[in-house]
Amino acid sequence: MENVESANNSGINSLTDPELKIIAALRDAFNNYVVVSCTRCGYCIPCPNGVSIPSILGVLNEIAYWGDRARMGYNQMAKTPEDLNRRREGGEQVEGAATLCTQCGECLEKCPQQIEIPDMMDKANYIFRDGKDITEILEIDP
């Protein structure tokens, strides 16, 4: 709805050829960079179980690009409901890991990118919890 409203306000053919070329180049760069097409819009949150969906997908994209050192962002997330509650009660702005996902499917219809979020949380668990290499779990261009 936001995208349609924005398009409605800007009018037809309002972009110049150089602007269109820049957008095409950015789109190609974006497509080469990401393994999960999450735009971090946040429409899928809050998850009823505290899973920080956009952050987890963001870390997946980061380790696909930067390698394992980007796992740091995930390591700090709460891995169990008890840990999440305890840290929240302590005033910490803690994020929830993929291990909190119960596969309830509530997030699915909220994602405009139609990402199979529960499936991606499973994949994130293979990578972060079980230590699998991301190339074993997701398709990545070398």
77 binds ligand SF4 (CB under 6 A): no
User: Before 18, cis peptide (omega within 30)?
Assistant: no
Angle at 43 between CA 99 and CA 87, to 5 degrees: 40
127 binds ligand SF4 (CB under 6 A): no
44 binds ligand SF4 (CB under 6 A): yes
Contact with ligand SF4 (CB under 6 A): which of 24, 27, 105, 135?
105
**Distance in Å, CB of 127 to ligand SF4, minimum:** 16
63 binds ligand SF4 (CB under 6 A): no
Angle at 120 between CA 116 and CA 124, to 5 degrees: 175
* 46 torsion bin: left (phi>0), alpha (psi -120 to 50), beta (else): beta
**Distance in Å, CB of 85 to ligand SF4, minimum:** 15
Would the CA dihedral through 64, 66, 69, 74 be positive or negative?
A: negative
Q: Which residues would be at the binding site for ligand SF4 (CB under 6 A)?
A: 38-44, 47-49, 51, 53-54, 57, 101-107, 110-111, 113, 115, 117-118, 121
